[in-house]
Structure 1
Amino acid sequence: MSSDGLTYTVTLRDGLNYSDGTKITAEDFVYTWQRMVDPATASEYAYLASDSHLVNVADIIADNKSVDELGVKAEGNKVIFTLSNPSPQFKSLLSFSNFVPQHKEFVEKTGKQYGTKSDKQIYSGPFKIENWNGTSGSFKLVKNNNYWDAKHIKTKTINIQTVKKPDTAVQMYKQGQLDFASISSTSAIFNSNKKNKDVVTVPEATTSYMTYNETGKVKGLDNFKIRQALNLATDRKGIVEAAVDTGSVPDRSNGC
């Protein structure tokens, strides 16, 4: 990162390949970001790129500039990001699933079928998906032998089963049919199982929040100090216990 926080340079390690053996390049990452903000893609996660403050991102999403003008370029094995303003969260965005590399030739060849089933995707991680058709109740994660660190991936296959009803999943776990099941979906399931000896608490990277409905009708909400006072007076613990009695914990936020 540059001293002013406006330039990030990422150097790709050697030996990166997709699951089909195709080489992963810096251009693939450029294409991923461009595809994300392209109005033709209509990605619901385009706002993440906007929040990153990449140069020209807002104009591109608004269809006022070409994706080629986005502040991300490839130079050899380096991906260079240029921001219009510092973005403290930018590094964390780089690992977000929507920004994993995409191979332009494969995407364009697959067309509208891209990502709709397991054989309409190629993979850059330690596993690839098999037997998934978009709605499969069960499918597999199979070791990707073309992964750069495949020699350290000891698990060869993971069987995934989708269970639509949370209470059914819990019963299947108790009968030894599943390796794990979530009990945090409803208060009833959580409270009837929270003392089970097998329960493991796993923090999730999820934050729920309430926002002010600023329609202009309540003039007081235009005042930052009033919003700040309401924020400080909010009983977070009480709200969590009353509304989401599923193991959630109150957070602290100064958002106003």
Structure 2
Amino acid sequence: MSSDGLTYTVTLRDGLKYSDGTKITAEDFVYTWERMVDPATASEYSYLASDSHLVNVADIIAGNKSVDELGVKAEGNKVIFTFSNPSPQFKSLLSFSNFVPQHKEFVEKTGKQYGTKSDKQIYSGPFKVENWNGTSGSFKLVKNNNYWDAKHVKTKTINIQTVKKPDTAVQMYKQSQLDFASISSTSAIFNSNIKNKDVVTVPEATTSYMTYNETGKVKGLDNLKIRQALNLATDRKGIVEAAVDTGSVPDRSNGC
């Protein structure tokens, strides 16, 4: 990161490959960002790129500038990001799945089928997906031997099964048909299983919130100070315990 916080340089390690053996390049990351903010892609997560404060990102998403004016460029094995304002959250954004590298040639060759089934995807992580057709109830994660750190990936196969009913998943776990199942979906499932010796509490980010009507229909809610006062007076713990009896805990952010 530059001293003024307006430039972030990422250097790729040597020998990076996709699951088919083709080289992962800095240009792939540039393409990923450009494709995400391109209005033609209509990405639901383009707002994440917008929040990054990359140069020209808002104008590109709005259709006022071309994607090649985005503040991300490739120089050899380096990806250079430039910002209009400092972006302290940027490093965290890079871990989001939408920013993993995409192989331009593969994406364009696959066309509208890209990402719709396991053989219409290309992988850069420790595993690749097999036997998924877009709606499969079960599929596999298989070790990607072209992953840069494959020697430390000890698990060769992970079997994934989609179980639509939470109570069914819990019963399958108890019958040793699943390795884990969530008990936080309903109060009934949670309260009948919370004392089970196998229960492990794991923090998970789940977005459930109430928002204010700022249209003017409710007098006062369009006033920032009133919203801030209501926010400070809100008993988050009490609301969660009363309305979400599934072991949830309140968020610590201070929205208003």
- Can you give the 5+ residue segments of structure 1 that lack an aligned partner in the other structure? none
- Total equivalences in the alignment: 256
Q: Offset at 1:182?
A: 0.6
Q: Distance in 2 between matches of 1:136 and 1:228?
A: 46
**Which runs of structure 2 are paired with 1:95-110 in the superposition (5 Å)?**
95-110=95-110
Q: Offset at 1:55?
A: 0.7
Q: Distance in 2 between matches of 1:30 and 1:24?
A: 12
- Measured against aligned partners, the alpha-carbon deviations of 1:201-235 in whole angstroms (never above 9, x if no partner) come to 11013343222111023452333221111001101
Q: The residue matched to 1:220 in structure 2 has which SS?
A: coil
Q: Distance in 2 between matches of 1:227 and 1:88?
A: 27
Q: Which runs of 4+ in 1 moved over 6 A?
A: none
Partner of 1:155: 155
Q: The residue matched to 1:129 in structure 2 has which SS?
A: strand
- Can you give the 5+ residue segments of structure 2 that lack an aligned partner in the other structure? none
- Measured against aligned partners, the alpha-carbon deviations of 1:43-94 in whole angstroms (never above 9, x if no partner) come to 1001100111111111111111100001100000000111111122111100
What TM-score, normalized by structure 2, do the two folds share? 0.97
Q: Is 2:142–2:157's contact at 8 Å kept on the other side of the alignment?
A: yes
Q: Distance in 1 between matches of 2:251 and 2:120?
A: 40
Q: Distance in 2 between matches of 1:217 and 1:3?
A: 47
Q: Offset at 1:243?
A: 1.6
Partner of 1:245: 245
- Measured against aligned partners, the alpha-carbon deviations of 1:173-211 in whole angstroms (never above 9, x if no partner) come to 000100000111111111111111000011013343222
Instruction: Give percent identity, aligned residues only.
Output: 96
Q: Distance in 1 between matches of 2:166 and 2:24?
A: 39
Q: Is 2:213–2:222's contact at 8 Å kept on the other side of the alignment?
A: no
Partner of 1:90: 90
- Measured against aligned partners, the alpha-carbon deviations of 1:22-57 in whole angstroms (never above 9, x if no partner) come to 000000000000000111111100110011111111
Q: Distance in 2 between matches of 1:5 and 1:233?
A: 36
What TM-score, normalized by structure 1, do the two folds share? 0.97
- Measured against aligned partners, the alpha-carbon deviations of 1:103-160 in whole angstroms (never above 9, x if no partner) come to 0000000000000000000100000000000000110000000000001111100011
- The farther-off stretch of 165-174 and 200-209 is 200-209
Q: CA RMSD in A?
A: 1.0
- The farther-off stretch of 184-193 and 128-137 is 184-193
Q: The residue matched to 1:219 in structure 2 has which SS?
A: coil
